[in-house]
Structure 1
Amino acid sequence: MAEDRPLIVAHDEVVLDEVLRLAAAVGCVPERLPDLSAARARWMHAPLVILDEEVARAGIPLPRRRGVLLVCKGSPSPPTWELAFSTGVDRVVSLPDEESELIAALADVAEGPGAPGGRVVAVVGGCGGAGASVLAAGIGLTVSREGGSALLVDCDPLGGGIDLLFGAELDAGLRWPELKVNSGRVSMAALHEALPERRHGDGRLSLVSCDRDGPGPSGDAVAAVIEAGRRAGRTVVCDVPRYLAGGAAVAVDRADLVVLVVPAELRACVAAKRVLQRIDARSRRTLVLARWPVGGLTPNDVAGHVGLPLLASMPPERGLQRDLERGVFLPRPKGPLATAAGAVLAAAHAGPAREPA
């Protein structure tokens, strides 16, 4: 609807082109008007109004309102601040230095109020080969099988790419090295367009995967992607390596629930306690998921050794490893992996959610 679109009134072509570019990046479709007289009919109803200095100086009297931005090129000069004061704008935004502020304002309009239900789960292996990536993928798949939308975020640049689990390494779409998220804000609609995905009926699973080479995601990029999913009401599942740096640390910081996956053997429990020392200072809520039978320990033994409440246990799933080697990831809907994934999702939604950033 036209009433939901922001207004842009700008005569400076450089400013106009930049605002339109940033709006397109977050999936926002503004309405461009030639002058303030033309804007009069929608002035009080538009969710956001963006002016440039030339338009603001025209001095056409309009009622004062919230949500008016004055965009200027470079640092604001004293006359710019005087103009902002006299016209009653909320904020002065200088380009390109304050590009992120303008993106955030446009994204708020494009996405509207944050959707309910967004949860962030970080899955971490207590030792090498614990199966954290498989569990993370299983959680995302379970959400989509149940008709929901999930976002699977690969935070391990040395893991080979979580798209390999789905046999999706040749699918079209961006991976972390090509996914440029430098502004601190991105829309879920833009991510859906850019990323490879898997569909199951009405459900969808979008993959933000590392690649076979190139750098891993920065902390700012992971934060932007996580919060885009949370604001859109998605279940965001992060595959997090044991070394918490950069994007991995941010994923743990922002998670509603951290799941530590630990095989039921003594050495794995000892290693998991070391990993937990790094997680503890960052996580608001951490539970252990025991994989068994591996050694001589029970799931309760694992929880006791690690010092965390037991979320669930997961026995082996027949044929799963063979399928993974063939690039097929379709665990049985009622098998051990799906059951464990369901327990994780129930625990994530049982606790209080973080507010969208």
Structure 2
Amino acid sequence: MVIHTAHQAAPVPDRRRPLVITADLDLLDDLLTIAAQAEVIVDVAPDAVAAARWFVEAPMVLVGIDAAAECARASLPSRPGIVLVGHHEQPGPPDWDVAHDLRAEHLATLPAAEPWLVQRIGRIARAAEARMVAVLGGRGGAGASVLAAGLAVTAARAGMRTLLVDADPLGGGVDLVLGWESLDGLRWPALTQTSGRVSPPALVEVLPQRGELVVLSWDRGDVLAVPAEAMASALDAGRRGQDLVVIDLPRRLDDASVLALEAADRGYLVVPAELRACAAAARVAAAAAPHCPSLSIVVRGPAPGGLRGPDVAKALGLPLAGVLRPEPGLARGLERGQPPARDGRSPLARLCQRLLTELGLGMTKAVA
């Protein structure tokens, strides 16, 4: 079970994890067990002060009886979806005045209310599932992994819980793009060897991560294909526990890639502004577009022959999502292990901010 406490991230709109407010360790243990049964990751705050920054955005708030009076006195903003939770053994009748002041919609007494809470937490969390973005290269070296990493880094800098999935076994690894190759955590080969279904919270917990960014990539061992079942587990983990999932896909689609494309809310095909790159990208687009109706083009400069972004998009018959201007320092930074878009001011960072805003993720706090 992964617990994120309130000091770990800046708030962003549209938080997707239920919030638990309690300092009662026994009650907290029971609520975490309930969340695990629902296969949902929750945020935990011990008191009203720690909970304030997440209180409005969480899809559901579970307030322990021990914290109820303090939360009522704190004059937290009015919101729906508050459940007051306690144990059957706790003495005395419910404090109806506190419940009224909190505007609690339900009073849940454990253990009797456990089945109801499992069902409700699961339903509410799934209704607030993560956005998903798929990124492909129009040809080898097009820059798809850099754009995928840039999107993930930009979202994480804005406080969004982000899962970056590297589904291209021949791509070199997004962990190298991020400078994370030595970071501990599970990689694809270990996941593909796991028998049975992996719960989403358990999977997220064992992946390499820093801050709000979690990565599923490759080790430096033998090349393996990603089984569709393993991809489904990864997407499920991201969908249920993160704000954004970015998938870096290979140009030659397999069953796992098709699964990711079909799950994506938006797809981006990165195409260098060169004639031969356009010819290669046309084949990738023909294979990918039937599985991703939202597929659009990101054109990467420079354009030695003067080929413009709208020309590339027109030639491929797909919408133009954006043009990435040349960024001379990008390659040098990658060689030094510096993540792309890390400063929030480069051409790549600005493009990523715009693409995420268009996805409805609220990037007003991305560049502090």
1:174 is matched with which residue? Answer: 186
Q: CA deviation at 1:322?
A: 1.0
**Which of 288, 312, 318 is 1:308 aligned to?**
318
Tell me, yes or no, if the aligned pair for 1:177 and 1:216 is still in contact at 8 Å: no
CA gap of 1:205–1:26, structure 2 versus 1, over 3 A, is same
Range that drifts further, 237-246 or 219-228: 219-228
CA gap of 1:48–1:212, structure 2 versus 1, over 3 A, is farther
Code of the residue aligned with 1:211 in structure 2: it is D
**Partner of 1:281: helix, strand, or coil?**
helix
Distance in structure 1 (CA, Å) of the matches to 2:196 and 2:242? 21
Distance in structure 2 (CA, Å) of the matches to 1:240 and 1:290? 17
**Which of 209, 229, 244 is 2:238 aligned to?**
229
**Partner of 2:238: helix, strand, or coil?**
helix
1:276 is matched with which residue? Answer: 285
Tell me, yes or no, if the aligned pair for 1:184 and 1:223 is still in contact at 8 Å: no
Q: CA deviation at 1:217?
A: 2.3
Range that drifts further, 240-249 or 173-182: 173-182
Q: CA deviation at 1:349?
A: 2.7
Answering whether residue 331 of structure 2 is matched by residue 318 of structure 1, we say no
Distance in structure 2 (CA, Å) of the matches to 1:185 and 1:112? 21
Code of the residue aligned with 2:113 in structure 1: it is H
Distance in structure 2 (CA, Å) of the matches to 1:280 and 1:122? 12
Code of the residue aligned with 2:309 in structure 1: it is P
Q: CA deviation at 1:334?
A: 1.4
Code of the residue aligned with 1:237 in structure 2: it is V
**Which of 186, 193, 205 is 2:199 aligned to?**
186
Superposed, 1:152-163 pairs within 5 Å as 152-163=164-175
Deviations along 1:161-213, one digit per CA (max 9) or x if unpaired, are: 211112211111111111255545522x32332011133xxxx1101002222
Tell me, yes or no, if the aligned pair for 1:262 and 1:269 is still in contact at 8 Å: yes
**Which of 190, 200, 209 is 2:217 aligned to?**
209
Gaps of 5+ in 2: 1-26, 43-108, 362-368
2:359 is matched with which residue? Answer: 348
**Which of 161, 164, 185 is 1:149 aligned to?**
161
Distance in structure 2 (CA, Å) of the matches to 1:292 and 1:175? 32
Mark the structure with the bigger radius of gyration.
Answer: 1
Tell me, yes or no, if the aligned pair for 1:6 and 1:46 is still in contact at 8 Å: no
Deviations along 1:101-153, one digit per CA (max 9) or x if unpaired, are: xxxx9xx9689632636100000001111100000000000001111111000
Q: Normalized against structure 1, the TM-score is what?
A: 0.66
2:138 is matched with which residue? Answer: 126
Tell me, yes or no, if the aligned pair for 2:151 and 2:356 is still in contact at 8 Å: yes
Distance in structure 1 (CA, Å) of the matches to 2:198 and 2:121? 13
Distance in structure 2 (CA, Å) of the matches to 1:224 and 1:282? 19
Distance in structure 1 (CA, Å) of the matches to 2:231 and 2:31? 29
**Partner of 2:190: helix, strand, or coil?**
coil
Distance in structure 1 (CA, Å) of the matches to 2:273 and 2:206? 39
Deviations along 1:305-339, one digit per CA (max 9) or x if unpaired, are: 11111111001112110111222225331111111
1:45 is matched with which residue? Answer: 113
Q: CA deviation at 1:27?
A: 7.7
CA gap of 1:283–1:183, structure 2 versus 1, over 3 A, is farther
Q: CA deviation at 1:267?
A: 1.2
Code of the residue aligned with 2:199 in structure 1: it is V
Distance in structure 1 (CA, Å) of the matches to 2:213 and 2:32? 29
Code of the residue aligned with 1:186 in structure 2: it is S
**Which of 313, 321, 337 is 1:327 aligned to?**
337
Q: CA deviation at 1:232?
A: 2.2
CA gap of 1:133–1:230, structure 2 versus 1, over 3 A, is same
